[in-house]
Every structure is written in structure tokens, then in C-alpha cells.
Structure 1
Amino acid sequence: MLTMNAVTVRLGGRTILDSATATLPPRGRIGLIGRNGAGKSTLMKVIAGTLDPDSGSVEMPKSARLGYVAQEAPAGQGTPFQTVLAADVERAALMVEEEGHPEPHRLAEIHERLIAIDAYTAAARASRILVGLGFDEAAQHRPLDSYSGGWRMRVALAALLFSQPDLLLLDEPSNHLDLEATMWLENFLKTYRATIVVISHERDLLNNVVDYILHLEGGKITLYPGGYDDFERQRAERLAQLASAREAQAAQRAKLQDYVARNSARASTAKQAQSRQKALARMQPIAEAVSDPTLIFNFPSPQALKPPLVQLDQASVGYDGKPILQHIDLRLDPDDRLALLGRNGNGKTTLARLLSGQLAPMEGTKHAPGKLRVGYFTQYQVEELDSDDTPLEHMSRLMRGANPSQVRAQLGRFGFSGAMAEQKVGKMSGGEKARLALALITRDAPHLLILDEPTNHLDVDTREALVQALNDYDGAVVVVSHDRHMIEASADRLVLVDAGRALEFAGSLDDYTDSILGKGPPSPEGSRSKANKKDDRKAAAAAREASAGLRKAVKDAEAETARLTARIAEIDRALTDPRSANASDAHRPASDLMRLRGEADRALESSEARWLAASESLDAVSA
């Protein structure tokens, strides 16, 4: 059992954890969640013992072995296989002692303990873990220094899993993984027989692996039973209860204040008024649920282009004259939603660069309209942002010739309005930087949006906002992601990049997951004939064409509803406080304002009816 008792941590004058208290069940699998910057990693460090709290304590059984990935990736001439084997410190020490030929009694104890900790199958277990995380037999025996930092962090994760601690602490373990390794990790954690605390923004992992959600908000932690979907439901119910309680408290407070105001001066009721005044002072306000206005992604709609946007015919692509992918036949139409599958290193990014125009085909052909605009997002763009500049300065440089209001409008589409547009990038979170990079690459309303791992550093709520924005976007989307929920929610075509080819995957993402976990054979093209694929493409194109008009009708109705709502608010302001009204309304007679309000109300009702009808029709077409 793990208990956190009133843990308080202050960093840089800011309270990160404020008397955080919770008791975690033994052998529980706990998902630690919260918005970016809430303090999840800080709490994890306190649990791991690498950060001392300002007050409070963390208690756990003294004999419990704790496992936590260090921030620095392993390096040197040792191999991944050697590094993982060495992670089981007890096994390594016993093996060294055994080789020293101790006296018979001690040797018997060593053998007994080695058997108990399953030491003689260690090599096979280490290899299985490394294979699951993407290291084939040859890769397991290359020096660590030959790998990038991301791959060496995979070795650190493999070593942690191999050591089998009683308390396993994982801080966003899938950040350095591809989809395939993420699937393997999820499957591994499902069967892990000890306590797990994992910080993750992967909705599928939080639903499929954990049995409790520990939610960190405002420095406080709350434990919810179940996975992420269960948490969302319980959280919504709790917020509704808080809102109801807050309304009841406000009514009670108003009643007490009214009594005090009416009866304080009377000698006969002064004592009762004082009593109620004390009750008012003791009444703790119930916090109002705060919505985050920065959860905004709104991709500008491009002008229509005739299909196809991109056509690849027997194309090959690579570097320095050496092809990475060959014989690619691929077509992208407006409003296509495509996900690229395949392990890291198989060529997904190479294909994305070919589609974006950063690479030209070495053989074969690529056809694309001259007016095609492409927005291409990579993590490198996030890392290359100038930390001393503001979002406004970044956008102004790229939108030369645009007036300030146009620049701010594009930033506002992604939540950078007002003062947020003028903060230094160096003070922004990773999620905010990713949002800024997306704002920058979509400034000219691209027809094709290519996103290479866009969800790194985004919390669950922000990922969901991104998915919603992609579904509303009128252009084509190509996505590379290890977030299975994002792929399922935003892609309707799968392309498997593997063994030098890029082929349509006929099955679902679940079929692909089964093939990765050894539950079924991979089937890039299945048994579908070319005629069937042509029919599928025609049907998909017809569905997109049918839904395009409906989506426009929904957007138009939403815009009209927002305009009319704002207009009604202006009229109401003119009726109640003419001094704060706009110039044209301030001097209108009240009768004119009431007539205008009636007209606006009727128009709003009509607009809402159009929105509802268009939304229902769109849902029917999409079903």
C-alpha cells in the first residue's frame, strides 16, 4: 500500500502540490493524470524519493523495491542486452558471487535464491522485452552510443521492466515509442503483477491497463475507480454536483446576507443577525469549475481543389541515391484521412516528406496541383521555436504583408489571444509550443495537413480537442502517431510502411494490433481486388462530397448562431445600461430595441433549427 499524507511542494514560489493526500491500493494499477503543468512529474518524483516535499510524507512498505526511469538515457559501449540484464542488481550480484566458488552452504543458498527470482530465464526475458520495444536480435548487441537519445530511453524502459520492481513508476513511457511498441507495452502492463503508477495521456492505455485514476488538479489529488472513460463520467457527475451545491450555497448566502442587512439595527433581532453574520464568515465558498480557454484548435478551411491532391505511381524515395521505399502507388483526395503505420525506422517519415514535397521521387512519378499547399508538423519544429520570441513575433515573421488583426486572428484560432500572444516561448509548456507550431504551419490554410507525432506533450483533453479540430477540418490529413485513440478517431484509411513498401492495410486498427501482438497475421492488402478498391474509393468520394455541403451548413449555422447571440447581448446591454452600449444602440428608443430583440430571437431560433437539422443529416451520412 502507498499512502501520501498531506504532501506539499513549492517550486519557484509557486505551490505545486497542496496537502495532496491519497491511499493507493496494493497491487493497483493507477493512472496519474492532470493538465499539463499540474505537477504530475513533481508528484512522481516525490513518490520515487528523488524530491523531498516541503511538508507531508509518502509511506510504503520498507521491503518494497521501487523502479523509476532516470531522466538521463544510458550510454557507453555496453549493449542494450547487457544494460537490461544488469538492471536486476540482485541477480547480477548473486551471479558474481556464484563465480567466486563460495563454501557449499552459501552456494546452495545462492542457487535457491537464483531459482526463486527466475534468474536462469533472465536472458530470454530480457530479449523478449527488447524485441517488444523494437530491438531485433542484431540491434540488441550494438553499442548504446550508436543509438539516438530516444532509442536509448527505450533501453532504460526495458531495464526498468526487466527489474520487476514492487512499485513501478512510469512517467509518460510511450513518448519515445512508436505505435507498435506502445501496443506491446500496454499488453505487458496488463499482466504486470505489482503496483503501477503511470503518468500517461494515452486514452487507450488508461482504459485498458489501469484500474484507478489519480486526478491531480489545483494541487489536490482525487482517486477514482476504473479507467479513463469511467473517470470522465464520474468527474462530470461530481462537477454537476458541485455546480448544484454552489447554486444552493449562493442562495443560502444571499438569504443570510438579506437577514443581516434587515435586522442588524434592531435591538430585538441584533443577536440573531450576529449569529447569521458568523455563519456567513464560516461558510467556505465552493469553487466554480474552471474551463480552460486555451483548449482551442481551429484549422482554417482551404479553397477547394479538384482530386487527386497527390498521386504516386510506382514511386521510389530515399536518401543519397539509396531508396528507402519503392513501388509506391498511393492517391490522396481532398478530405482523405490517412494514418501511416509501421515501426520507427521503416520509412513513415520518409513517406511523409515525399507527400509534403520535401523529397522528390527517385523513380516513378508524383502528380500534385501547382496550387497545393501543405502544412507539415514535426517535433523538430517545436524544438526550433525561438525561446526569446513571442507567438506574435513568430507569426508576424511568417505572415509578412498581413495586417496585425489577421496575424492575431490566426493565433486566436489556437488559443493565443490577448496576453498569451505576447508571452515568451521559453516560458511556455511543451503542449503550448506544439499548439503554436500547428498555428504556424496552417497560417495559409493548407489543403493537406501532415502530422508526425503531434500528440507528444499534449494532455488527454488537448488531444481530444485536436481530434475534434481535425474532424472539422476541410482538407486532407495524413497522421503518424503512437496514440491509438487519435488514429481511430481521425483516420479512415491505414497504410502500412514495412519492408521497403507502403501498402494499404485492409483490416481495422484492432486487426493490426492483433498482428503486432502475435494474435493474427498482418495483411497489408488482404484479399480485396483492385475492382473492390476502386469501388471503395468511389463510395468514399461520394460520401465526402455528400457530407461537404452538410458540414458547411453546420458551420454556417454555428457562425450565424454566434453572431445572433452576440447581437442579443448587445441589445440587452443597451436596454439595461445604455452608457456601456455601442453608439448605434445607445440612442435608440427602448421600443425599437425591444422590436430588434424580438427579431433577433426569432432569427436565432431559426438558426438553431437549421444547425440541428444539418447536424442530424451529417450524423446520418457519417454513420
Structure 2
Amino acid sequence: MPSDLAKKKAAKKKEAAKARGRTRKPEDGVNGDAEKPEIQENGAAEVNGVDSLAKELDEFELKKTEARAVTGVLASHPNSTDVHISSLSLTFHGQELLSDTSLELNSGRRYGLIGLNGTGKSMLLSAISHREVPIPEHIDIYHLTREMAPSEKTALQCVMEVDEERIKLEKEAERLAHEDSECEKLMELYERLEELDADKASMRASRILHGLGFTTSMQQKKLKDFSGGWRMRVALARALFLKPFMLLLDEPTNHLDLDACVWLEEELSQFKRILVLISHSQDFLNGVCTNIIHLHQRKLKYYTGNYDQYVKTREELEENQMKRFNWEQDQIAHMKNYIARFGHGSAKLARQAQSKEKTLQKMVASGLTERVVNDKTLSFYFPPCGKIPPPVIMVQNVSFRYSENTPYIYKNLEFGIDLDTRVALVGPNGAGKSTLLKLLTGELLPSDGMIRKHSHVKIGRYHQHLTEQLELDLSPLEYMMKCYPEIKEKEEMRKIIGRYGLTGKQQVSPIRNLSDGQKCRVCFAWLAWQNPHMLFLDEPTNHLDIETIDALAEAINDFEGGMMLVSHDFRLIQQVAQEIWVCEKQTITKWSRDILAYKEHLKSKIDKQMHDL
């Protein structure tokens, strides 16, 4: 028989576990405590005021929530750790995104949520995190939506403060330590802190930040001194540190370099509860996911296995479906033909025709197999640019640093690029990949040396801030006609925009109502119509769906000009790059093998670093 002390300890542990479930609230202002703005996630609010961008984003999110209507019924047991919602429907501004489908999320599974841009993937995550679907209260949800706001706190402080219960218990233990009469209660608190691994909290937070690219000194830097991309990494570190029961991540690799992507893939592949992940990277989905949810034709369809397994299973299912569809259509055609020919013939033939008519009616009543409807395919297009004799751009003994007080990013660079160039730039964040593209376009000037460009060369640079130049109140059609007034006919411009996957209402809706992926397509249409000789693409896959990335890869391969690419998408690099240049240690080195060998090299490097920590 267990002793009273053992029973008491077990009861305490149970209570501690319950407390964790109650108090560990997500801090994105979605499922957290609205009365405490200082702990709302991603810097949505800070005690000493909110920056205007965060305010704007909050208002935008509120408007989205108000324009959204969600219905659904909890089908799983209220105390279950699995979530099953039946009869799920979701509309946004009256447009139906999901219709009478089911949401099934089981504990221990890692789901990749995929589907075309604009079908409602991010909207679904937002609805889940706002608990607009009936998710039991004991399941805490953390939805990573945006970067932390600038503040005086260090990166390490921001990660550690996220664990409310641990902080609360540590403060209480500190208070009780000075009171002799509270010895028993203090022991209970220490027990609960031990469960939360409190003494290792700092080490764990530091390890996560290190994995996401923060050096020891960077972890002590104030958040206000970081760019938005780095503050996004802090927000991601908070999510990983907290270990919520349900973690919702929307394109978590968008602000990461290849090193951090490899680390995050490894980290998320160990997640033990419920993970729902939107990602455009097939490689990342393969490394992380145990299941795939495909949002297609307003339904959620479920597949076991990673992305490659999903593709294989879907192909097999669709092949069988089409075989069944074709067989049924043949049977129907044959029966209709027989009925038409013999329905009014001799009594015997007429009886047979009537029998076939009944069989046909039964087939229709029991439901016919539908024809397979494939995802819309699109083909990006970069117009012919004409020939320019090499060298198009010459880099001669170039060194660069941002100021005299900062270290050199590059020293003594020597290379040339021309219209045959197909290069992917890789290397850790801060090594100067984007800086190099800015030097080549002339946006930055070398500190030493010279960059010579052909007098007629036109460079088109795509970067992740390009969407900021869009005029949100204009439609894509109006915006493109304003940018390219030489195209007079609306129909001609409609065709141009259509090449980039924007069709019908999307062409005439205000740009602000488009999804992030659709806004990126407007940018690609704008960029292509500049008719550049060289494409400089800095993270072009952010927010694009997998089908669009494949279309982009095809267009790059068909393009007759040169291309330099910065991307964290291993598959895109594999599809389009003929050379891989590593930007590191103030120089550029050519990698002799392919990008997958480079990924293995990064894995080994990261394993060694983590082992040494």
C-alpha cells in the first residue's frame, strides 16, 4: 500500500500538472490573458507602450476576426488530449473557405497544413488560436504570428519570461524562503519547480536561441537593437521554450537562414504534443511532419506520413478515383444508349431497358465518383531580355563594411557574372548574402575596389520587403496599369497578371484583402515586366505555396538571363542553381558538391556545436 506521504506527493504532482494546464497560456494575445498586455506574445504589447506597427497589426487582426465566421461541433471527449471538430465551416468576408468538413488533431502528431495560396490556411490557424472552434480549455494553444516588438529586454530575458508558471513559482519560493513557518509549502514549491526543470530554464532558453543563430553576446543584446527578422526568431524561441500542448506555426522558416532551418527541422521533429505547421518547403515538411492535411475544395483531407508520402498516396488515390470515374461513366453511357435504343422495342427488350434504367437510378442515388479536380497549375514568365556580351558585372578587389567602426563583411572579392550565371548564395545570417546583392545592384557602394556593370544591363531584385511598396487600396490590375501605363488595354494586363496565378476577383480586389502569397505574386508580375537581364532573388519563396514555387523554378530555368538566389528552400536551390557560393568569413567560396551535401555538412556542424554547449 502506498504511504500517506507517497499519496500526498502524487496528489501534489497531479495538482501541479493541472496548474500547468491552467496557467501556461499562449502569449500571442490569442488565448492569453487580455488583462496583461505586458505578456502578450510577439511583442503585441509592451508595458511601456506599443509601437505603431504592432498597433496596426492588432487592429488588422481584429478586423479579420470580425470578418470571420466559424462553426463547428466538438466530437472528441471534452477531457481528451485529441481534438476532433465535426461540421466545421469557415467564411471570411462572406467567402466560404471551409464547408462542412472535420478537423482532427491527435496528440503526438505533427501536421503539415498545405494548400494553394488564398485557400484559407492561415485563416484556419487564426480561428483555432482564437478558439473560434470549440477546443477544450485544458489544451493550451500557442500561435506564432509575428515578431516581438522592440524593447529594453534582452533576447534571453524575452524567452525566459514566457513561462508564466515557472516565474510565478520562483517568486513565491523566494518570498517563502524568508519565512520559517512556511517550510512545508516551500518544499512543495521546489517539487513543482523540479517538475518544470526550473534550474535548467536559462540553459534551455540559451540552447534554443543558439540553435536559431544567436551567439552568447547577441543573447544579451536588447530587443530594440535587433531587426524584425531577428525579433521574429526571438518569438519563435519563446514558442519552443514554452512547449505548449498545441503549437501553431505559420511559415516559421521565413526569417531563417539554412543553418537555422536545419536546426529547427531537427528540433520540431522531436515535438511530442500537437504541432500544426504551414510551410512552403517540401524538404522541411519531410523532415518534421508525421501527417499532412490538404486544404482542397473547402475540405480538409488527411494523409499519413510526410510530404513525399502524401504525394505518393494522393497520386495512387487519384489514379484509382479516375479509374472508377471512367468505369462509371462508361457504364452510364452504355445504359443510356441501351435505354434509348430498346426502351420502346419488343416487350422483352423494353423490360431489359427498364431494368437498366432502375440500375442507373440506383447508381446515381448512391452517389457517383467525382472527376479528380487537380490544383490549379500556373506558369510564371520572365520575358526575353536579349543578349549582352560578357562580362555583364565585374567585381574587382571589392571590400565592404557599413562604417569605419564596424568590421568588414567582405574583403578583396574578385569575380564576374554574366547571363549564364545560375548561383545560389548560402551561409549564416549576417555573413552578407543580401549585402552582396545590394552591392551588385548599386544600392550599396564598395568601401574599396570597384564594381563595373555593362551600361545596358537591367537588374530586377526581388526581396521580402517588396510587398511594402504595393499600394494596398489599389487592385492588382490598377496597380500594374499605373506602373506600366504603356499597356493601355485592361484585357492585356489581365492576361499578364493571370500568368502569375492571380485570376478573376483577385485581380480587381484591393491588394490589402489578398493573402501574403497573393501579394508576392503581384510583386513578381511587377518585377518580370521590368524586363531585367539579371534576376537577383532574395528569399523569393516566402509566403508562396508549393505549386507556385515549382512554377517559379520552371520560369527561372526558362529565363534567358542570369540569376543569383538567396533562399532557405533547399528544394528550390536544387532545382535552379548550377553553382553554390558560400558567403562566410569575409569572403566567398565555391561549394564543390550539391545543396543536399551542403545540408548534411550543416547538420554535422550543428550537432557538434550543440554537443559543445
The normalised TM-score by structure 2 is 0.76
Which residue is equivalent to 2:390?
307
2:170 aligns with one of 95, 100, 104: 95
Q: Percent identity?
A: 34
Give the distance between the partners of 2:506 and 2:274, measured in 1 at CA. 40
Which residue is equivalent to 2:132?
52
Residues 1:73 and 2:148 aligned together: yes
For each residue in 1:538-588, what CA deviation from the matched residue of structure 2 results, as whole angstroms up to 9, or x when unmatched?
xxxxxxxxxxxxxxxxxxxxxxxxxxxxxxxxxxxxxxxxxxxxxxxxxxx
| DSSP-derived class of the 2:253 partner | helix
Which residue is equivalent to 1:215?
294
Give the distance between the partners of 2:505 and 2:294, measured in 1 at CA. 29
* Alpha carbons 1:452, 1:481 under 8 Å: kept: yes
For each residue in 1:495-551, what CA deviation from the matched residue of structure 2 results, as whole angstroms up to 9, or x when unmatched?
2333443343445434543554453899xxxxxxxxxxxxxxxxxxxxxxxxxxxxx
* Alpha carbons 1:260, 1:276 under 8 Å: kept: no
Residues 1:42 and 2:123 aligned together: yes
User: Aligned partner of 1:42: which letter?
Assistant: M
User: Aligned partner of 1:229: which letter?
Assistant: D
Which residue is equivalent to 1:368?
453
For each residue in 1:266-319, what CA deviation from the matched residue of structure 2 results, as whole angstroms up to 9, or x when unmatched?
997597587457436525353333345562212223222222222211112354
Give the distance between the partners of 1:71 and 1:287, measured in 2 at CA. 40
Give the distance between the partners of 1:521 and 1:28, measured in 2 at CA. 25
* Alpha carbons 1:264, 1:273 under 8 Å: kept: no
1:130 deviates by 1.0
Cα gap change, 1:359 to 1:146, in 2 (>3 Å): closer
1:64 deviates by 4.6
Give the distance between the partners of 2:531 and 2:149, measured in 1 at CA. 43
Which residue is equivalent to 2:311?
232
Residues 1:492 and 2:578 aligned together: yes
Which residue is equivalent to 1:426?
512
Give the distance between the partners of 2:554 and 2:189, measured in 1 at CA. 58
Give the distance between the partners of 2:585 and 2:87, measured in 1 at CA. 54
Cα gap change, 1:387 to 1:74, in 2 (>3 Å): closer
Give the distance between the partners of 2:92 and 2:426, measured in 1 at CA. 41
Which residue is equivalent to 2:611?
none
Which residue is equivalent to 2:444?
359
Which residue is equivalent to 1:183?
262
| DSSP-derived class of the 1:502 partner | strand
* Alpha carbons 2:108, 2:273 under 8 Å: kept: yes
| DSSP-derived class of the 1:191 partner | coil
Give the distance between the partners of 2:128 and 2:505, measured in 1 at CA. 36
Give the distance between the partners of 1:373 and 1:335, measured in 2 at CA. 15
Alignment of 1:139-178 (within 5 A): 139-178=218-257
| DSSP-derived class of the 1:42 partner | helix
Give the distance between the partners of 2:122 and 2:607, measured in 1 at CA. 39
2:595 aligns with one of 509, 515, 519: 509
Bigger shift: residues 152-161 or 503-512: 503-512
Residues 1:246 and 2:325 aligned together: yes
User: Aligned partner of 2:524: which letter?
Assistant: L
Give the distance between the partners of 2:438 and 2:147, measured in 1 at CA. 30
Which residue is equivalent to 2:96?
15
Which residue is equivalent to 1:29?
110
1:5 aligns with one of 86, 89, 93: 86
1:480 aligns with one of 551, 561, 566: 566
* Alpha carbons 1:317, 1:350 under 8 Å: kept: no
1:229 deviates by 1.1
* Alpha carbons 1:29, 1:195 under 8 Å: kept: yes
Cα gap change, 1:280 to 1:45, in 2 (>3 Å): same
1:113 aligns with one of 188, 192, 195: 192
Give the distance between the partners of 2:340 and 2:98, measured in 1 at CA. 40
1:339 aligns with one of 403, 424, 443: 424
Which residue is equivalent to 2:521?
435
Which residue is equivalent to 2:24?
none
Give the distance between the partners of 2:360 and 2:604, measured in 1 at CA. 70
Give the distance between the partners of 2:504 and 2:268, measured in 1 at CA. 44
Give the distance between the partners of 2:474 and 2:247, measured in 1 at CA. 40
1:338 deviates by 1.0
The normalised TM-score by structure 1 is 0.75
For each residue in 1:23-61, what CA deviation from the matched residue of structure 2 results, as whole angstroms up to 9, or x when unmatched?
44431222121112222223323443x1424xxx556xx
* Alpha carbons 1:328, 1:503 under 8 Å: kept: no
1:317 aligns with one of 360, 376, 400: 400
Cα gap change, 1:18 to 1:397, in 2 (>3 Å): closer
Which residue is equivalent to 1:295?
378
User: Aligned partner of 1:385: which letter?
Assistant: L
Task: Note the residue ranges of structure 2 that are not aligned, 5 or more in a row.
Answer: 1-81, 609-613
* Alpha carbons 1:184, 1:517 under 8 Å: kept: yes
Cα gap change, 1:91 to 1:51, in 2 (>3 Å): closer
Give the distance between the partners of 1:274 and 1:494, measured in 2 at CA. 65
Cα gap change, 1:396 to 1:216, in 2 (>3 Å): closer
Alignment of 1:589-604 (within 5 A): none
Cα gap change, 1:388 to 1:495, in 2 (>3 Å): same
Give the distance between the partners of 1:415 and 1:217, measured in 2 at CA. 16
Cα gap change, 1:468 to 1:137, in 2 (>3 Å): same
| DSSP-derived class of the 1:175 partner | coil
1:479 deviates by 0.7
Give the distance between the partners of 2:192 and 2:360, measured in 1 at CA. 70
Alignment of 1:379-458 (within 5 A): 379-401=464-486, 404=489, 410-415=496-501, 422-458=508-544
Give the distance between the partners of 1:4 and 1:521, measured in 2 at CA. 40
Give the distance between the partners of 1:505 and 1:110, measured in 2 at CA. 54
Which residue is equivalent to 1:560?
none
Cα gap change, 1:294 to 1:395, in 2 (>3 Å): farther
Task: Note the residue ranges of structure 1 that are not aligned, 5 or more in a row.
Answer: 523-623
Give the distance between the partners of 1:21 and 1:473, measured in 2 at CA. 43
* Alpha carbons 1:36, 1:429 under 8 Å: kept: yes
User: Aligned partner of 1:11: which letter?
Assistant: F
Give the distance between the partners of 1:71 and 1:374, measured in 2 at CA. 31
* Alpha carbons 1:396, 1:407 under 8 Å: kept: yes
* Alpha carbons 1:317, 1:362 under 8 Å: kept: yes
1:454 deviates by 0.7
Give the distance between the partners of 1:90 and 1:477, measured in 2 at CA. 51
1:245 deviates by 2.0
1:74 deviates by 4.7
For the aligned residue pairs, the C-alpha RMSD in angstroms reads 3.1
Give the distance between the partners of 1:449 and 1:368, measured in 2 at CA. 14
Give the distance between the partners of 2:578 and 2:564, measured in 1 at CA. 10
Cα gap change, 1:296 to 1:425, in 2 (>3 Å): farther
Give the distance between the partners of 1:125 and 1:227, measured in 2 at CA. 28
1:156 deviates by 1.6
| DSSP-derived class of the 1:123 partner | helix
Alignment of 1:554-565 (within 5 A): none
Give the distance between the partners of 1:265 and 1:514, measured in 2 at CA. 74
| DSSP-derived class of the 1:379 partner | coil
